[in-house]
Amino acid sequence: MSRSQRIVAALGAMPPPAMVALSVAAVGALGVADVVTGSELSSSVFYSLPVGTAAWYAGHRWGVTLGILAAAVWYLADLSAGGAYSASWIPVWNATVRLGFFLIITRLLVLLRSALEAQRTLAEVDPLTGLANRRAFIAAVRSEVARSARYGGAISLAYVDLDDFKAINDHWGHRVGDDVLETVGGVVSEMMRQTDLPARLGGDEFAVLFPETEEGPAREVADKMRARLEAAMQTAGWPVGFSMGVVTASSPPDAYELIRTADDLMYEVKRSGKGRTSYRRWLHAGAKPG
């Protein structure tokens, strides 16, 4: 990570009140520097930095507040520096123009951040179910595997596939098929703890990551989840079942290997009759599932 990336990461990790306090201090320091250097040197670019920082990290309200503060400090610094103007209204006009400049910067940065956050959401969320998509899920599993390798502790992962889902699309159409998938996503999401991550990996395949979860609790949640899913399908009159593979590992060697193992367990269930859950534990790093 480069120095600039480290600075951006450090700023992003700061709480908004600390970010605002830092921006206010920067504006004050710039005002003092303006008085010392006199009216001949312009510092508009430097004032825009704390204003933009407050807008980006603390929101529109604080960006506007810092913009007003920066314009006022700049105005007072101009007067204190003893600059000569042909008319008394000129410093006021200049301060008003500067305020407009800061407000425009604030608005543009807030809109840009909002657009970026919307794009990030689209890139990480399945639009049909509202669950995490494959990309976000794999990233989360990688992070959890790295945490487990460093600090220890178990990870559990459930891989879920809908049985006979193709018949829904064939007989009732894709609109009903989408309703089935949305219902599955809703049931899974409602059951999870805040730390768990349910995802739709594509088609009719779902997965749930259970961080720091041993085999016993993972079995309990998986059994309840399949029971609730089956009940939801029966209530709606949809002939859909669920095959699941659940793997628990301590310090697994690789995120993809962990996902693949749960996927393989699920397909073993498919081949042996569907409608049940297969469990397996990874005993230690480098060990084969068994």
pLDDT band at 287 (very low <50, low <70, confident <90, very high): very low
Residue 154: strand pairing partners: 250
Contact 138, 123 (CB under 8 A): no
Which pLDDT belongs to residue 11?
65
User: What CATH superfamily classification does 134-282 receive?
Assistant: Reverse transcriptase/Diguanylate cyclase domain (3.30.70.270)
pLDDT in tens, 193-213: 888 999 999 889 999 999 988
pLDDT at 82 over 70: no
Contact 57, 16 (CB under 8 A): yes
- Per-residue pLDDT averaged across 214-236, rounded? 92
Across all residues in the chain, what is the average pLDDT? 85
For 267-290, b/e burial (b = at least 16 CB within 10 A) is eebeeeeeeebbbbbbeeeeeebe
At 242, list the tokens: 């669920």
Give me the residue label for tokens 């990480």.
124
pLDDT at 285 over 50: no
For 164-188, b/e burial (b = at least 16 CB within 10 A) is ebeebeeeeeeeebebbbebbbebb
Which pLDDT belongs to residue 140?
92
Which pLDDT belongs to residue 188?
92
Which pLDDT belongs to residue 289?
45
pLDDT in tens, 226-263: 999 999 999 999 999 999 999 998 877 788 889 999 99
CA-based nearest residue to 266, from 256, 254, 278: 278
pLDDT at 290 over 50: no
Which pLDDT belongs to residue 83?
64
Q: Is the pTM of this model over 0.75?
A: no
The CATH 3.30.70.270 portion of the chain extends over 134-282
Pick the range with the lowest mean pLDDT from 20-29, 30-39, 171-180.
30-39
CA dist 90 and 96 (Å) reads 10
Sheet of 241-250, strand order: 197-202, 205-210, 154-163, 241-250, 277-282
CA atoms within 13 A on the CB side of 91: 16
CB under 8 Å to 265, separation ≥6 — which residues? 159, 244, 245, 246, 247, 278, 279, 280
pLDDT at 73 over 60: yes
CB neighbours of residue 14 within 10 Å: 15
pLDDT band at 153 (very low <50, low <70, confident <90, very high): confident
pLDDT band at 283 (very low <50, low <70, confident <90, very high): low
pLDDT band at 30 (very low <50, low <70, confident <90, very high): confident
CA-based nearest residue to 49, from 66, 31, 35: 66
CA dist 226 and 277 (Å) reads 8
